[in-house]
Chain A
Amino acid sequence: MPIITDHLTYVYGAKSKSKKTALDDVSVKIEDGQFIGLIGHTGSGKTTFLQLLAGLIKPFSGTVYLDGEDIFAKDYDMKTLRGKLGIVFQYPEHQLFEETVFKDVCFGPKNLGLDEKEVQLRAYEALKLTGFEDDNFYRSPFELSGGQKRRAAIAGVLAMKPKILILDEPTAGLDPGGKKEILDLVKSLCKNQGITIILVSHSMEDMAEYADRILVMNDAKIVLDGTPTEVFSHYDELKGYGLNVPQVTLAMLQLRECGIPVRTDAITVEQAKKEILRVLR
């Protein structure tokens, strides 16, 4: 289910004097099963882009094609989109509302009009997938810890069995352990179930480790698009956008400045280790 955005543009306050273009003529194609990393400093238009992909706001001009269908066409049934594309917002635990975690996870699939049995099955699967402890299924979501709430909220989206999953900083405010668990889960969803992932993160290290392709946004436009190695080779440009390269890459750049002839395209610790060993031998 490829996503194609066609000259997608979004303007806030189009009629008023203080209008601001949040997304400017973005055309990009996202293939099935890709793990896309989306980076850009605050206010670069990432969230607007994601909301447009999810059909939550209407574009000023241009459109989004999902599976070859224009999702903003008048006769397009948004319900099919909801079933295909899931979006996990920042701090998703703020959207929990039911009396029990299980009921809350059931909310999404129920809205898809599935029968009761299927709804419960999906909710159970999703909670299991996120590593949620059985004992907590019937507890109130408001009694849980931050990390558990986060997982419950993500399960609520996974229970809809989306083919495309969008996550807007899903690890913000989590401890390193919880962070890794969630990112590993997302990676396995991509690898094992072929779900297309679009992940927003401010951690260049996470991007280097998990993403297949990185889109860099700056000032409402996509300015860089490529594999992590390609994108992170544009050190100066990224700096200009208020972004950075992974710390190991920085370390390699400095080694090179010190006269050690290492290649500077290593973006993970593992790659850097190999490269340094190669040079030392």
Chain B
Amino acid sequence: MNTEATLGQYYQTDSVIHRLDPRVKLVGTLLYMISLFIFNNIFCYAIAAVFLIVVIILCRVPLTHMLKGLRPILILMLFTVIFNIFFTPGEYLWQFGILHISKEGIKTAILILIRLTLLIISASIMTLTTTPNRLTDGLEKLFAPLKLIKVPVHEMAMMMSIALRFIPILMEETDKILKAQTARGAGFDSKKLTTRIKSLIPVIVPLFISAFRRASDLALAMEARCYHGGEGRTKLYPLKYAARDILSYVFMGIYIISLTAVGIINAKISLVNAIADIVSK
């Protein structure tokens, strides 16, 4: 079984970023991602990259570990880049049939590559430095105001943490069932797609049954310990903002302001250039 998939799997170490309140990390990641989508010029990306590099250094997760997690996404990135290079219309540098390479194509491809890399790394830093439990705690607290309009925030957070908790268990279970059926002579490496899908039935049926069995066992165990939803429930470690959390919000504000400033200046310059172009024509 592939246990080396590291995309976003919590990495245990002690760093400032690890100790931050999960709410800060959630809000920060969200703002960062939005900022990547709003400003799409190379100067803003440079600022974003510097900001991210500082966070990477602070979070003390080895870079190799982080990049290893990027591997599964590599194909997706490659596809996006290739499509953008070959299918963006504009000033053609090279042409063959429907394929063409344009200046604009290369430019968008590079920008998209940078944007995707920054996006994925920023998202994985959040999960690398936050345990799933703290993450759902943070989500629950952030969305708590929605309780006023009767959204079952606590229940949804609980479902999420249980779902996350069950991923490794079900992976282990899958591994076990796969081995048992292999020992009974089942083949999972047939070349024909239909036989291959059919060969999965002996794995999927027991897996579903075991998932349901575990779910009902867990529900019983929770009820036996008087779980009845979020009402009046207190936490062993309630989330409280510390000085470093406030400071992080300040840094985030500085980041957003500087990014906006660069974005506006850049927009103005390109506007001036465009007007100058028209005037000179």
Contacts and interface: CB of A to CB of B under 8 A. Distances in A.
A160 interface: yes
Contacts of B180: 87, 89, 92, 95
Contacts of B206: 94-97
Interface residues of B, number: 21
The SS class assigned to the B binding surface is: helix
Nearest to A111: B185
A241 interface: no
Contact of B202 (A15, A79, A107): A107
Given A16-B4, A95-B206, A56 B179 contact: yes
Interface in A78-107: 79, 82-83, 86-87, 89, 92, 94-97, 107
Nearest to B210: A94
Interface in B172-188: 173, 176-177, 179-187
A89 B187 contact: no
Contacts of B181: 95
A160 B186 CA distance: 12
B176 A97 contact: no
A56 B183 contact: yes
Contact of B183 (A15, A82, A112): A82
A23 to B, nearest CB: 16
Interface residues of A, number: 25
A51 B180 CA distance: 10
B186 A111 contact: yes
Nearest to A16: B4
A86 B209 CA distance: 24
Contact of B184 (A13, A111, A142): A111
Given A16-B4, A89-B176, A142-B209, A97 B183 contact: no
Interface string B219-248: 000000000000000000000000000000
A161 to B, nearest CB: 12
Contacts of A94: 173, 176-177, 206, 209-210
Interface string B230-269: 0000000000000000000000000000000000000000
User: 8 nearest interchain CB pairs?
Assistant: A111-B185, A97-B205, A108-B184, A82-B185, A95-B180, A87-B183, A56-B179, A97-B202
